[in-house]
Structure 1
Amino acid sequence: MLNGKKILITGGTGSFGKKFTEMVLTKYPDIKRLVIFSRDELKQYEMAQMFPPVKYPQLRFFIGDVRDGERVKRACEGIDIIVHAAALKHVPIAEYNPMECIKTNVFGAENVVNAALDCGVKNVVALSTDKAAAPINLYGATKLCSDKLFIAANNIKGSRDLKFSVVRYGNVLGSRGSVVPFFLGQRKKGALPITHQEMTRFNITLEEGVEMVLHAIEHSWGGELFVPKIPSYDIMTLARSIAPEIDHRIVGIRPGEKLHEEMITETDALNTFDCGKYYVILPTLPNWSLENWVSTFNAKRVPEGFKYNSGTNDSWLDETEVRRLVKLHVDPNFIV
């Protein structure tokens, strides 16, 4: 699928970008070019040590910020596929610095759309978040705006052979700044801060996130928003799994946090289809035949009133499974 293709990933030095690079170079050794676009030269230098140019001559590192439209356009010259992973994603930081979050997550998304339209790109997949569904914090609101920009871009592509789609998923296990690495670090301090004992979250691994993006690259028709079927965990199960021997201290929900996350709201369900491994939220007015799409993917409309919420999910991680996932995907030396 990707052999012979030229791909650019924004935010390419982040947790997702590194895992995407690792998996793509392994699965598609004949990829023509993979451009890592990010603004931090130190992270690019460190990533280049992980993927040395002698072994991976198809890899390129391109310094730039998605806020800079001209730089994004330059990076996209000759590119076939864009994976847009760049974002300011930390909820409390976004609440305190709202305009900085808007500049990256909204204006940056628009710059990627314009670069794709101007540079002959064929396929764009943008990463979203469960916090974009019925958002209550600024980060979620900016990602909802970003989702709308990418989906609506299909309406202005004209005769271009170009499609835009979005993937939305929950908390990535072990990603930089997420709860599992934080809890692992707090084990040494003798007390684990818990925001709320009833809090729940969806859970996905980096590998599953990359596979979902690859699925969207291969199967999107343009305008879809893909949502994975993944398990939930509650925060107390996570705490007991990682640090059962220390105190758990309730500190209260942080600004902009929800008790439970949603990935599909009851309103979204009006345009949502079950496609087996994934749910797909379709645009209200797709620019292709809905009947043909449904037939191609054997898609079935979700029931009226359906919603996909981490607190009412029908799939849950228990302590044994949490420990297995932490050891496998986060810390191979993890022992409880």
Structure 2
Amino acid sequence: MIWKNMEVLITGGTGSLGKALTKLLLEKCHPHGIRIFSRDELKQWEMKQTLKDQPVSFLIGDIRDRKRLELACKGVNILIHAAALKQVVASEDNPLETINTNIIGSQNILYAALENKIDKVIGISTDKAVLPINLYGATKLCMEKLFIKGNTYSGQRSPRFSICRYGNVIGSRGSVISLFKEQTKTGTFTITDPKATRFWISLKKVAQFIIDRIEKMKGGEIFVPKMPSCEIGEIANAINPNAGIKVIGLAQGEKAHEVLVTSEEAERTEIHGDYYIITNQKLKDRQTYKYDSLHNIWKLSKKEIQTIIMEKTI
């Protein structure tokens, strides 16, 4: 795929992932232009200061505003949909806002892509969307369903819609690692459940994964990278083994362990080296397994966790 003639739009582009994608696209892909679509003018201004003389434009807008989104997408070839309300507890407390942003906003992405005949659209999803028990996960599941079914409306033509689904991101705002680093000042870590497990991936690696999948996507796929996992308590111990631990219990809607591929999805999942492709069709050679953070064979050691936290390398 040749990026140099491509116009790329990233919703939620001032977030951690949007910044990582922009940096990587500029360094390696050299697209014709990148459009950052987001609501916060201060974050846009701050990001703009780091990208002087780069082919990046900034558009203030909300994905809940269909007309604004359709206008912003004119002339766009690739759309990366990363905008969302992501905090589990905040989503539980603000269900209307979460639904309007994560579901209605994603529906507007679908309309804007079809209206402007964008070549490729990739939605950013989460392990919370798999067998969801919280509103955030449920809205992300709806986004996945909207995008996969979106291919029906374009037939064999553009746009093509696919999904990237993954776990927790090291270096992203609001992660448990960021919380623990902040709490080192107090000497006590607040932990929901030390035995709870999570999948982990670095911003740089997930950004590269998304770009690679955009280049290869045909439409209708859910792409899942293979990721290591570990217990939350092990992360706390790796950051500061002498810190006190205050167990506060799992929050409303929070799972002890996460799933990236269900046993039902496994029957239609292809394994490609370091990632999975969940398709719409059951495979002839069906496999029965569940890819979850508890039984994941790729477990992180204490030394690996410390290296990852320092270098954000996985």
Give the TM-score, by structure 2 length. 0.97
Contact 1:83 1:124 in 2 (8 A): yes
What's the offset of the Cα at 1:329? 2.7
Say whether residues 1:37 and 2:21 are aligned partners. no
- Tell me which residue corresponds to 1:205: 202
What's the offset of the Cα at 1:301? 5.0
- Tell me which residue corresponds to 1:214: 211
Paired residues, number: 312
What's the offset of the Cα at 1:160? 2.7
**Deviation string, structure 1 residues 220-241 (Cα, Å, up to 9, x no partner):** 1110000111100111110101
**Deviation string, structure 1 residues 170-190 (Cα, Å, up to 9, x no partner):** 000120011111100001012
- 2:72 is aligned, of 72, 75, 79, to 75
SS of the aligned residue for 1:12 comes to: coil
Say whether residues 1:303 and 2:287 are aligned partners. yes
- 2:257 is aligned, of 255, 260, 264, to 260
- Tell me which residue corresponds to 2:12: 11
What's the offset of the Cα at 1:197? 1.9
- 1:324 is aligned, of 307, 310, 313, to 307
SS of the aligned residue for 1:113 comes to: helix
SS of the aligned residue for 2:122 comes to: strand
Contact 2:36 2:58 in 1 (8 A): yes
Contact 1:10 1:85 in 2 (8 A): yes
Within-5 A mapping of 1:145-224 = 145-224=142-221
What's the offset of the Cα at 1:103? 0.5
SS of the aligned residue for 1:188 comes to: coil
Change (3 A) 1:104 1:223: same
What's the offset of the Cα at 1:207? 1.1
User: How far apart in 2 are the matches of 1:284 and 1:110?
Assistant: 24
What's the offset of the Cα at 1:28? 2.0
Say whether residues 1:242 and 2:239 are aligned partners. yes
User: How far apart in 1 are the matches of 2:162 and 2:220?
Assistant: 5
User: How far apart in 1 are the matches of 2:22 and 2:88?
Assistant: 26
The one-letter code matched in structure 1 to 2:36 is I
The one-letter code matched in structure 2 to 1:5 is M
SS of the aligned residue for 1:125 comes to: strand
What's the offset of the Cα at 1:162? 2.1
What's the offset of the Cα at 1:208? 1.4
For structure 1, the residue ranges without an aligned partner over 5 or more in a row are 291-299, 331-336
82-91 or 159-168: bigger deviation: 159-168
User: How far apart in 2 are the matches of 1:97 and 1:302?
Assistant: 40
| Superposition RMSD in Å | 1.4
SS of the aligned residue for 1:60 comes to: strand
**Deviation string, structure 1 residues 35-78 (Cα, Å, up to 9, x no partner):** 000000000000001111xx21x110000000100111011000
User: How far apart in 2 are the matches of 1:105 and 1:61?
Assistant: 21
Contact 1:7 1:33 in 2 (8 A): yes
Runs (4+) of structure 1 exceeding 4 A deviation are none
SS of the aligned residue for 1:144 comes to: helix
Change (3 A) 1:43 1:165: same
User: How far apart in 1 are the matches of 2:292 and 2:242?
Assistant: 30
Percent identity between matched residues is: 45
